[in-house]
């Protein structure tokens, strides 16, 4: 056990809109995520159950504002808030945002394979 530093974590997805870094510790995936304003992850989640992320996440918004789209309605999260996102969601960055989340490693790995087109 020990501290996990963002700069030591490899990028799982990295482009002009998304910087998603993740590592596994104790069966959980720890992710450091940066999304540019306007980034909508819904298209990348198409093909998953209900076209939404089926993985739960617990975390903390460090910066910005994020809309989480769900089957029951949208919720907005802002810097300084802790969160739990149950299965069935798709994030959209309303402002440049950054957050840290923790998820079951196997479930997160399956979502990442899908988003990268490996599934």
Does the residue 29 lie in any domain?
A: yes
| CATH, residue 42 | 2.60.120.10
The continuous run of DSSP H or E covering 108 comes out as helix 105-115
Residue range of the domain that includes 58:
6-115
> pLDDT by residue (tens digit) across 24-54?
999 999 999 999 999 999 999 999 999 999 9
Given a cut of 70, the residues of the chain with pLDDT beneath it are 1, 119
Domain count, the chain: 1
Does the residue 19 lie in any domain?
A: yes
Distance CA 65, CA 119 (A): 30
Provide the pLDDT for residue 108.
97
């Amino acid at each position: 056990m020990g501290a996990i530093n963002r700069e030591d974590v490899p990028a799982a997805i990295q482009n002009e809109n998304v910087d998603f870094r993740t590592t596994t510790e104790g069966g959980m995936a720890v992710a450091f995520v940066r999304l540019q304003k306007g980034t909508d992850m819904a298209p990348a989640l198409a093909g998953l159950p209900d076209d939404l992320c089926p993985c739960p996440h617990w975390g903390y918004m460090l910066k910005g504002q994020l809309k989480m789209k769900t089957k029951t309605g949208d919720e907005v999260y802002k810097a300084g808030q802790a969160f739990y996102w149950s299965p069935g969601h798709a994030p959209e960055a309303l402002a440049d945002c950054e957050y840290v989340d923790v998820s079951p490693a196997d479930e997160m790995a399956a979502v990442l394979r899908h988003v990268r087109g490996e599934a």
